[in-house]
Amino acid sequence: MKYGIVIFPAKPLQDFVNSYRKRYDPHYTHIPPHITLKPGFDAENHQINDIVQKLHEVAQKTEPFDITITKFSSFKPVNNVIYLKIDPKDNLEYLHNEIDTKIPGHVSEYVYVPHITVGQQLTNDEHSDVFGSLQMLKVNMQDKVDRFHLLYQLENGSWTVYETFRLGKE
Amino acid sequence: MKYGIVIFPAKPLQDFVNSYRKRYDPHYTHIPPHITLKPGFDAENHQINDIVQKLHEVAQKTEPFDITITKFSSFKPVNNVIYLKIDPKDNLEYLHNEIDTKIPGHVSEYVYVPHITVGQQLTNDEHSDVFGSLQMLKVNMQDKVDRFHLLYQLENGSWTVYETFRLGKE
């Protein structure tokens, strides 16, 4: 089964992001706006209890922290993904690394950039148009991260939450 | 903010239900297949910590239990909702009642029928056609309920999980 680990920002930020995702993100209906901590990975049913236990340990020793979002950014030329950049990234990087090293055989090979996807699978022209105008927008949103979630993917591509992990509380 | 409390069945049951919801349920993209324990209710931000605490208490004193699904049923003539009936209903009724009485001002006025919605907002003709054929199907699925989730609704109608409550474990 395919699992993933994400943070859901608070409703005001999610509603803001969805106003763009509706038009620019084909995954709009598959999952609410989120910050990915660990992208989709395969795990067997018998491995999940162990993974859950390790995620509780990571959550327990991490205190809740604040994040700020001040601008739209893009992964182009790597891909045509437009996202909201999250600052500071150190707490999220820490969480990502802790989780990555605790789940054996699944260590990422890419540089982790904490973000909330706003648009993806855009053509070059769409990307240029959309990012051109979003880049001009001033954004100033704060949020507090106090939990993350383990999700699994259904056959239709949508995600269901399996369990919540509260930072510093477990 | 609008909150709800649901159980997500395991993936095989969710995939089975989604194969019908895709065609017959306009809420297909808003929430994964679920058993509603408490339908949408309004709560203020400052009330949520107290509600979460009470839900943890309910979860803690409830042991995980098994459910069986053996047939499609319908709420007609009350409404044109087609659903999978869940047996036995006593454990789910207990959970529903515990939650309902713990969240002040939100006691339900309807009879609780534990179910998984398969289709809704059908015209009379659609209902008659679809239910006519689903009624003939033999279903025999088992699942174990060991957790429930508190969700909140975004402006676009979709639901985000806020927290998970594990039965007997909290």
Contact A164 B160 (CB under 8 A): no
The yes-or-no verdict on residue B104 having pLDDT over 80 is no
> Using one digit for the tens of pLDDT, what is the confidence trace for A107-152?
666 789 999 999 999 999 999 999 999 999 989 999 999 999 999 9
Question: Phi, psi at residue B43, to the nearest 5°?
Answer: -145, 145
Residues of A whose CB is below 8 A from B15 = 154-156
Contact A15 B149 (CB under 8 A): no
Share above pLDDT 90 across residues of chain B, in percent, rounded to a whole number = 89
Residue type, A77: P
A18: tokens are: 């969805």
How much is the mean pLDDT over chain B? Answer: 93
The yes-or-no verdict on residue B115 having pLDDT over 70 is yes
Contact A158 B15 (CB under 8 A): no
Catalytic residue chosen out of the listed positions B34, B96, B127, B149: B34
Catalytic residue status for A115: yes
Of B8, B14, B152, the CB nearest to A11: B152
d(Cα B42, Cα A124) in Å, to the nearest integer?
43
Contact A152 B11 (CB under 8 A): yes
Q: Count Cα neighbours of A77 within 13 Å in the Cβ-side half-sphere.
A: 0
Q: Which residues contact A141 (CB under 8 A, 6 or more apart)?
A: A12, A13, A16, A68, A69
Between chain A and chain B, how many beta carbons pairs sit less than 8 Å apart? Answer: 61
The pLDDT of residue B106 is 61
The pLDDT of residue A106 is 61
d(Cα B99, Cα B81) in Å, to the nearest integer?
24
Residues in chain A with pLDDT < 70? Answer: 104-109, 170
For residues B62-85, give the mean pLDDT.
95
Catalytic residue status for B115: yes
Domains of chain A, CATH where assigned: 2-166 (3.90.1140.10)
Contact B166 A166 (CB under 8 A): no
Which of B116, B145, B155, B165 is most worth mutating to test chain A (most A CB atoms within 10 A of its CB)? B155
For residues B123-127, give the mean pLDDT.
96
The yes-or-no verdict on residue B93 having pLDDT over 90 is yes
N-to-C CA span, chain B: 26
The pLDDT of residue A30 is 96
